[in-house]
Amino acid sequence: MINKKIILGVTGSIAAYKACELIRLLKKHGADVQVIMTKSAKEFISPLTLQGLSGKPVLEDMWEPSKGNGMEHINQSKKSDLILIAPASANFIAKLAQGLADDLLSNVCLARNCPILIAPSMNKNMWENPATKRNISLIIEDGGKFSGPENGEQACGDEGMGRLVNEKILLLDIKKSLSPPLFKNKNILITCGATFEKIDDARAITNLSSGKMGFSLADEAYSMGANVTLIYGRTETLPPGNIKCIYAPNHEMMNKLVKQHAKDNNIFISSAAISDYIPKTISGKLKKHKDKLILELKRSSDIILETASEFKNLFCVGFSAESEKIIENAKIKLKKKKLDMIVANSINESMGKDSAEVHIIFKGKVVHIPKKNKNKLASDILMNIHKLEAKRNNIHEYID
Ligand SMILES: Cc1cc2nc3c(=O)[nH]c(=O)nc-3n(C[C@H](O)[C@H](O)[C@H](O)COP(=O)(O)O)c2cc1C
């Protein structure tokens, strides 16, 4: 989002105050934000507040004669990379659908030559009204995109659809609107988190994986235009709310779900930490009568190896977490499992952490990615997957 010019259109919704936090976030991500408010929006929040946060005077009046050539709607629309309407009132959505242009914001929208992203916020009856549904279909037909709304408690006390989408999902949708759709029409299957294998009714074997890498990959793949399916095990945080997520608590479920979904996907990224050994489960609780307890573990099947050999068209990416000889061991796995790519990292430096340093290994090449935040890392990994997968399929749109 760095240096991207975003017009933030704020309209007359009770959620107008949320524009303050949104401006702060957009600026934090490096965007250059120009706020345009409707007349009604000013009833909910002061332009001065939004001016203070965006660092620029808020535009509101179409008839303001003092500015440039007096054609602010054309000037602004020429300058921007994205128009974001957040919150978007039912009234403003209706105006967009009809192509009305009776104030500065609606004029800028009509004169735009950049994408438009609309985050509605309204009472659930307004949202469910057939007129609103019709307007939304028209805007989508015309190429407009929507983020949200969400279900939940509303300002008027009702419960239902119509709340402004949460900022995490909105940010991803903004990123998606600003990024080239490298994975457009691609289905990507991702696994993440730790498996949890029961020993008895009270105990289990698991590992230190947090799921952060897989969640970041899922978010970034989504913002690059992919249809993402995420199969997740035990994780430290909740899975992303914007994509299809399926919970798989153990090896058996992970195996079943991966094989079930593999045929519908183009790319498989296995970042889950799956148990190599599974205990023989005891029903009830293991009793304490001896000084020593020997647990019998059996070798589990290698999900990515089996998947790569069964689904030949699937582009398979593995992760290799090692404590020593990180690159050498990853190269052995890449070959043995017949993967297209493997991401090698150090257990101590990456497992459960917010950042990591990795080596991406494919076709005899080793690409070093220095330590960085897992979101940025996910983006680098996906860029490498995109290049290699496009080459493998001889796609001419290959981007270097
Ligand atoms: C207290 C109050 C809260 C409102 N909240 C919303 C809302 O959340 N969403 C919405 O679509 N309209 C809401 N409205 C109605 C709009 O403000 C009204 O339709 C207005 O004409 C929208 O103008 P605009 O689209 O030009 O900003 C509310 C009105 C009032 C008085």
Q: Report pTM.
A: 0.85
CA distances to 86, 103, 225, 295 from 120, in Å: 7, 19, 21, 55
Atom number in ligand 1 closest to CA 92: 25
Three-state SS string over the chain comes to: CCCCEEEEEECCCHHHHHHHHHHHHHHHCCCEEEEEECCCHHHHCCHHHHHHHHCCCCECCCCCCCCCCCCHHHHHHHHCCEEEEEEECHHHHHHHHHCCCCCHHHHHHHCCCCCEEEEECCCHHHHHCHHHHHHHHHHHHCCCEECCCEEEECCCCCEEEEECCCHHHHHHHHHHHHCCCCCCCCEEEEEECECCEECCCCCEECCCCCCHHHHHHHHHHHHCCCEEEEEECECCCCCCCCCEEEECCCHHHHHHHHHHHHCCCCEEEECCECCCEEECCCCCCCCCCCCCCCCCEEECCCHHHHHHHHCCCCEEEEEEEECCCHHHHHHHHHHHCCCCEEEEEEHHHHCCCCEEEEEEEECCEEEEEEEEEHHHHHHHHHHHHHHHHHHHCCCCCCCC
Ligand 1 pocket residue status of 40, Cβ below 6 Å: yes
Does residue 170 sit in the same domain as residue 200? no
Does residue 128 sit in the same domain as residue 199? no
Does residue 124 sit in the same domain as residue 156? yes
The pLDDT assigned to 293 comes to: 83
The pLDDT assigned to 72 comes to: 73
Could you list the residue range(s) of the whole structural domain that residue 137 is in? Answer: 5-178
Q: Look at residue 398 and tell me if it is in a domain.
A: no
Residue 109: give its domain's CATH number. 3.40.50.1950
Does residue 62 sit in the same domain as residue 17? yes
Does residue 171 sit in the same domain as residue 233? no
Q: Look at residue 102 and tell me if it is in a domain.
A: yes
Does residue 64 sit in the same domain as residue 172? yes
Does residue 293 sit in the same domain as residue 153? no
Q: Look at residue 400 and tell me if it is in a domain.
A: no
**Residues contacting residue 110 through CB under 8 Å, at least 6 positions apart:** 73, 99, 100, 101
Does residue 354 sit in the same domain as residue 238? yes
Does residue 73 sit in the same domain as residue 169? yes
Q: Which of 20, 114, 156, 245 is the catalytic position?
A: 156
Does residue 162 sit in the same domain as residue 258? no
Q: Which of 161, 178, 195 is the last residue of a domain?
A: 178
The pLDDT assigned to 76 comes to: 78
Ligand 1 pocket residue status of 126, Cβ below 6 Å: yes
The pLDDT assigned to 286 comes to: 80
Residue 376: give its domain's CATH number. 3.40.50.10300
* Catalytic-residue membership of 156: yes
Does residue 205 sit in the same domain as residue 162? no
365 C-alpha vs ligand 1 centroid, how far in Å? Answer: 57
The pLDDT assigned to 153 comes to: 86
The number of domains in the chain is 2
Task: State pLDDT tens for residues 285-314.
Answer: 888 777 888 888 999 999 999 999 999 999
Q: Which protein residue's CA is at the shortest distance from atom 14 of ligand 1?
A: 13
Q: Which of 126, 153, 178 is the last residue of a domain?
A: 178
Does residue 100 sit in the same domain as residue 211? no
pLDDT tens for the chain, 400 residues: list them.
Answer: 889 999 999 999 999 999 999 999 999 999 999 999 999 999 999 999 999 999 999 998 887 766 666 677 777 777 899 999 999 999 999 999 999 999 999 999 999 999 999 999 999 999 999 999 999 999 999 999 999 999 988 888 888 999 999 998 999 999 999 988 999 999 999 999 999 999 999 899 998 889 999 999 999 999 999 999 999 999 988 887 778 999 999 999 999 999 999 999 999 999 999 999 999 877 888 887 778 888 889 999 999 999 999 999 999 999 998 888 999 999 999 999 999 999 999 887 777 778 899 999 998 899 999 999 998 999 999 999 999 988 877 644 433 3
